[in-house]
Amino acid sequence: MVIINGSNLDLNKFKKIVLDYELVSIDEASKEKVKLAREYIEKVIISNHPVYGINTGFGKLSDLSIEQQDLAKLQENLIKSHACGVGEVFSEDIVRGMLLLRVNALIKGHSGIRLEVIEKMIEFLNKRVTPVVFSKGSLGASGDLAPLSHMALPLIGLGEVLIENKRVPAIEGLNKLGVKPLASLVAKEGLSLINGTQAMTSVGSLAVLDALRLIKLSMFNLAITMEALEGIIDVFDYKIHESRNQEGQIEVSKTLLKILKSSKLMTKQGEKRVQDAYSLRCSPQVIGASLDAINYCKNIIEREMNAVTDNPIVFAEENQVISAGNFHGQPVALAMDFLGIAVSELGNISERRLERLVNASLSNGLPPFLVKKPGINSGFMIVQYSAASLVSENKVLSHPASVDSIPSSANQEDHVSMGTIAARKAKEIAKNSKMVLAMELMTSLQAIDFRNPDLMSNKTKAVYDYVRNEISFVDDDRVMYKDIHEIEQIISREDFMSLLEV
Q: Catalytic amino acids? A: 52
> Prior bond to 7 cis, omega within 30?
no
Residue 87 is classified by DSSP as E
Is the Cβ–Cβ distance between 433 and 393 less than 8 Å? no
Cα separation, 499 vs 463, whole angstroms: 7
DSSP 299-334: HHHHHHHT----SSEEEGGGTEEE---TT--HHHHH
Cα separation, 304 vs 302, whole angstroms: 5
Closest alpha carbon to 199 in 155, 153, 129, 134: 134
Helix axes 198-228, 11-18, angle to 10 degrees: 100
Q: Which amino acid belongs to residue 299?
A: N
**Burial class for 493, CB neighbours closer than 10 Å (0-12, 13-18, 19+):** exposed
Cα separation, 305 vs 10, whole angstroms: 7
Measured between its terminal Cα atoms, the distance across the chain in Å is 29
Q: Which amino acid belongs to residue 14?
A: F
Cα separation, 210 vs 205, whole angstroms: 9
Closest alpha carbon to 333 in 201, 135, 192: 201
Strand segments (E) across 273-410:
313-315, 320-322
Q: Which amino acid belongs to residue 224?
A: I
Cα separation, 437 vs 260, whole angstroms: 19
